[in-house]
Amino acid sequence: MLYTIEHELEGGVGRVLCVVCLWQSGTKSLRNIMKVAIRSALVAAFSLILCTAGFPQSTSKESPISADPQSGTSAPLMANQAVSTADTPKPETDPARLGQPTAKPATNSDPSYVIGAEDVLGISVWGDQRLSCICVVRPDGRISLALIGEITATGLTPGQLETAIADQLKAKEILKRPEVTVQVNQINSKKYFLQGEVMKTGAFPLVVPTTVLEALVNAGGFKDFANTKKIEVIRGKDRFKFNYKDVIHGKHTEENITLKPGDIIIVP
């Protein structure tokens, strides 16, 4: 008679198969043999469980380790952490590139700006550096250029002056197709004037739109005995009244006019 005793370990780790061949030889002998077989199966299963618990199988993928330079410990790298520095931008080290000057925009970019006396102009003629220069408009409104001579600049916009210079170059057969660029590097012709009981008097540049109140602020305020209720703005033959105390309190704001070149503010 053949008896088969199977012991299935949990989790499918292994199977202990004990085969005991028993021959019918009486009930007592059969019981003794069965006890021995069961005891051997339990000992083998227990030994296998201990071996399995001592060497666990890792089911998770470990992350690469990176060293922390400050703490001296290792830490796992994140999935989105860059490992390679091949794409890291490097600082510019080329002396030729480092020596190149950066482009500086013109002071005045308004094409409708009208050139006046004392303005500083940057004139560039492509293809001939002899004709390129930085010049100041004289009080008579003219500028002097090499190979051309004198040319009137006041009353013209930068674009109109470009055309006038190009026409002179073609008329004197200096260049057949001249390309001229005129930039206003500095505005000195647009000014307003302050006189009287203010901290700063004299001429002030009128580069951006400026009101009477802003001009008084630029002057640094009033002196002790200034009559701020009877300020006047002189524009040619016209006179405009300005009451400082009313304007700052929101009254008669129409008196706070925008200044024009040549305006004179008098604070009695």
pLDDT in tens, 19-63: 434 444 445 566 676 776 777 777 766 666 666 555 444 444 444
Contact between 222 and 208 (Cβ < 8 Å): no
- Is this prediction's pTM over 0.85? no
182 and 203 inside one domain: no
Q: Does 235 lie in the same domain as 176?
A: no
The reply to whether 211 and 238 lie within a common domain is: yes
Output the pLDDT for position 50. Answer: 65
Give yes or no: residues 28 and 15 share one domain: yes
**Rounded-to-integer distance, Cα 2 and Cα 4, Å:** 7
Q: Does one domain contain both 245 and 212?
A: yes
Percentage of the residues of the chain whose pLDDT score is greater than 70? 63
Do residues 167 and 203 both lie within one domain?
no
pLDDT for 136: 94
Query: Tokens 């094409």 map to which residue?
Result: 111
pLDDT score for 158: 93
**Final residue in a domain of this structure, among 169, 186, 203:** 186
Cβ atoms within 10 A of the Cβ of 185, count? 15
Among residues 131, 151, 186, which one ends one of the domains? 186
Residue 236: which residues within 8 A CB-CB, separation 6 or more? 262
Is 133 within a domain?
Answer: yes
Is residue 63, in this structure, part of any structural domain at all? no
Q: What is the rounded distance in angstroms from the CA atom of residue 153 to the CA atom of residue 165?
A: 10
- Looking at the structure, tell me whether residues 177 and 160 fall in a common domain: yes
pLDDT of residue 12: 42
Alpha helices (runs of H) in 13-157, residue ranges in sequence order? 27-54, 95-98
Question: Do 37 and 8 have their domain in common?
Answer: yes
Contact of 256 with 211, CB cutoff 8 Å: yes
Domain count, the chain: 3
> CB-based burial of residue 222 (10 Å sphere; 0-12 exposed, 13-18 middle, 19+ buried)?
middle
- Closest-CA residue to 157 (of 104, 128, 121, 118): 121
Is residue 196 domain-shared with residue 169, that is, in the same domain?
A: no
Using 50 as the pLDDT threshold, list the residues of the chain that sit under it: 1-26, 55-108
Task: Provide the CATH number for the domain around residue 244.
Answer: 3.10.560.10
- Nearest partner of 265 among 250, 251, 249, 228, judged by Cα: 228
The pair phi, psi for residue 86, each rounded to 5°, is -70, -35
Domain range holding 32? 2-54
User: Does an H or E element contain 66, and which?
Assistant: strand 65-67
* 216 and 249 co-located in one domain: yes
CATH number at residue 180: 3.30.1950.10
